Amino acid sequence: MSKRDFLSTADLTRSQLDDLLDLAARAKGKPSAQGLAGKTLGMLFFQPSLRTRVSFETAMVQLGGHCINLASHDLYELEPEEQAVMDGRAEEHVVDAARTMSRYVDALGVRAVSRVGTWERDRRELLLRSYAQHSSVPVINLETCFEHPCQAIADAMTMREHLPALSGKKLTLLWCNHPEPKSLGPTHSILRVAAMLGMQVTLAHPLGFEVDSEVLEGARSAAGASGGAVEVVNDLGAAANGAEVLYARSWGCTKHWDDPEREAMVKRSLQDWRVDEDLMSQTDNALLMHPLPVRRNVAATDAVLDGPRSVIYDQAENRVHVQKAILKQLLT
C-alpha cells in the first residue's frame, strides 16, 4: 500500500469525513485499545503549540504508542525548495530531514505556520508539502497558514454533539480583531468541512480580510453538492442574525500578508469586530466556538467565553478523540 497522509480537508470525501467523525465519537469516553503499541509519532513544531501537541501526545499514549516532540529550537533551519543552491541560512534540506526521520518514526506531524513570504508563496505550504513528498511514513498537518484540518474535524465533532443534525444549520464564521497577524488555517478548514456537511455558512469579515479565493470557491462547490450554502457578508450585525453557531476567529489580510505594519494600520478601525453579549443576543441562541488561544476582551468578552453557550473547551477536548481517529486510520 502507498502511504496515506492527512494534509487537507480538501482531500476528504464526504464519506471519509463521516467515517472519521464516527470513529472519533466511538473513541470518546471508552478505554482505548492498545492498537498502536510499539508505534512512534514524531512531531515537528516550528511554532508554539498547546492543544495540538498535548492532544496528539495524549492520543498516542492512550493508544499504546509513543511521541517524540521537537520544537523550533531543536531543529535546523530547513530549505524546502527543490534543487535549491543552499548558500544561505538553511542548514539542511527537507529531503534529508524527511528521509532520516522516516527511518526513526512511524508517522510525522508538522506545524509550520509562520509567514515567510508573500501569500502566493505561503499558501503553497512548502515545508509541509516537502515533508510529505520526501517522507516514506504518513505526514499529518498540525497547522499551516493555509489549513488546520485536525482542528476542523474536532469542531465538526463538537457541533454534532450539541445539535441534532448539522445539515441546514446556520454557521457564522466571524472575523475578530487581534493585535497580531494570524493564519487562515482554522478558517479555511472549518469553512470546507461545514460546507461538506450541508450547513448554511455565512462568512463574515471586514473588507480587506477575504479568504483565499480557491478555498471559497471549493467550499461553495461542496455546499452545492451537499445541500448547503456559503455566503459572504461584510456587516457585523447581519452576520450574527439567526446564527445557530457563531465561530469566532481572527485571520490575516492576504493583500498585506508580507507587510504586517500595514495590516496593523488597517485593523485599528476594526476594534468593534468582537463577540460580546449584545452580538450573541442577535443570534438564534447560538453556540459560541473559538479554536483557542483567544485574546479575551479583544476577540470575545469574558462574559460570552465563560457563558452557558460557549463550547470552546468541548472543542479542545475533542481534539484528543479526533487525533485518535486520525492515527488509527493512518497507522492500522
pLDDT in tens, 207-219: 999 999 999 999 9
What CATH number is attached to the domain comprising 34? 3.40.50.1370
97 and 163 part of one domain: no
248 and 275 part of one domain: yes
User: Which pTM value belongs to this model?
Assistant: 0.96
pLDDT of residue 30: 82
pLDDT-derived band of residue 3, with 50, 70 and 90 as boundaries?
confident
pLDDT-derived band of residue 31, with 50, 70 and 90 as boundaries?
confident
Residue 1 domain flag:
no
Residue 20 domain flag:
yes
Closest listed residue to residue 20, CA positions, set 331, 327, 249: 327
Q: What is the pLDDT of residues 221-280, one digit of tens each?
A: 999 999 999 999 999 989 999 999 999 999 999 999 999 999 999 999 999 999 999 999
Tallying the residues shown for the chain, one arrives at 332
pLDDT at residue 7 tops 60: yes
Average pLDDT value for residue range 63-67: 97
Q: Is 131 helix (H, G, I), strand (E, B) or coil?
A: helix
| CA pair distance 175, 249, nearest whole angstrom | 5
* High-pLDDT (> 90) share of the chain, %: 95
295 and 166 part of one domain: yes
| CA pair distance 163, 37, nearest whole angstrom | 35
Q: What is the pLDDT of residues 148-206, one digit of tens each?
A: 999 999 999 999 999 989 999 999 999 999 999 999 999 999 999 999 999 999 999 99
Residue 2 domain flag:
no
pLDDT of residue 320: 98
| CA pair distance 231, 172, nearest whole angstrom | 10
pLDDT-derived band of residue 303, with 50, 70 and 90 as boundaries?
very high
143 and 155 part of one domain: no
pLDDT at residue 1 tops 60: no
Residue 3 domain flag:
no
Residue 4 domain flag:
no
275 and 157 part of one domain: yes
pLDDT of residue 221: 98
142 and 170 part of one domain: no
294 and 173 part of one domain: yes
Based on the structure, what is the number of domains in the chain? Answer: 2
| CA pair distance 97, 82, nearest whole angstrom | 14
pLDDT of residue 129: 97
230 and 174 part of one domain: yes
189 and 253 part of one domain: yes
Sign of CA dihedral 185, 145, 97, 43: negative
pLDDT-derived band of residue 2, with 50, 70 and 90 as boundaries?
low
Average pLDDT value for residue range 55-78: 95
Q: What is the pLDDT of residues 75-126, one digit of tens each?
A: 999 999 999 999 999 999 999 999 999 999 999 999 999 999 999 999 999 9
13 and 131 part of one domain: yes
Average pLDDT value for residue range 31-52: 94
Domain with 18, as residue range(s), is 9-148+320-331
Q: Which three cell numbers stand for residue 330?
A: 493512518
pLDDT-derived band of residue 27, with 50, 70 and 90 as boundaries?
very high
197 and 264 part of one domain: yes
pLDDT of residue 21: 97
82 and 169 part of one domain: no
